[in-house]
Amino acid sequence: MAFGSHVPTVGVNDLASGDFLLDVREDEEWQAGHAAGALHIPMSEFVARYGELTEAAPQDGKVNVICRVGGRSAQVAMYLVQQGIDAVNVDGGMQSWEAAGRPVVDDKGQPGVVV
C-alpha cells in the first residue's frame, strides 16, 4: 500500500528494540496484540490526547508511528511532521511487524495476534 513519497517511512527491520513506537490502532486491535513498550493512542483520540505523546516521546528522537497496515499511521506521521516532530510511518504496520517475527503481546503481556 503506497501513501506517496511525501510520507517518511521506515521498515520494520530498520527499527531497533529501543526505538520509540506509537501505536494508533483502536483499543480492540491493541488488546489483541501489540509491540511491547509501544505507546498506545488511538487515531480516533489522537488530537485530544496529543499531550500524552509529547510527554512520552524522546525529546530529540524519532517517533515511529504504526497501525495495522500503514494507512492510519501515515496520516498521523504526516500530522506530526507538520507539527515539527521527527516522525515516520512504519511501512506495512503491525502486519509486517508480526511477519518479521517481532514479538506481539496482548493487553495482559501474553503472546498476542494482530487483528
Residue 65's beta-bridge partner residues? 22, 89
This prediction has a pTM of 0.94
pLDDT of the residue at 39: 98
For 69, the 3-state DSSP assignment is coil
Cell of 88: 515516520
pLDDT of the residue at 2: 45
Helical segments of 35-104, H only? 50-56, 71-82, 93-99
pLDDT of the residue at 5: 54
pLDDT of the residue at 1: 40
Using the Cα atoms of residue 18, residue 61, residue 91 and residue 25 in order, give the sign of their dihedral: positive
Catalytic residue among 12, 67, 74, 88: 67
Written as tens digits, the pLDDT of the chain (115 aa) is 444 558 899 999 999 989 999 999 999 999 999 999 999 999 999 999 999 999 999 988 999 999 999 999 999 999 999 999 999 999 999 999 999 999 999 999 999 999 9
Q: E strand or H helix at 32, and its extent?
A: helix 27-32
User: Is 67 an active-site residue?
Assistant: yes
Contact present, 90 and 66 (Cβ < 8 Å): yes
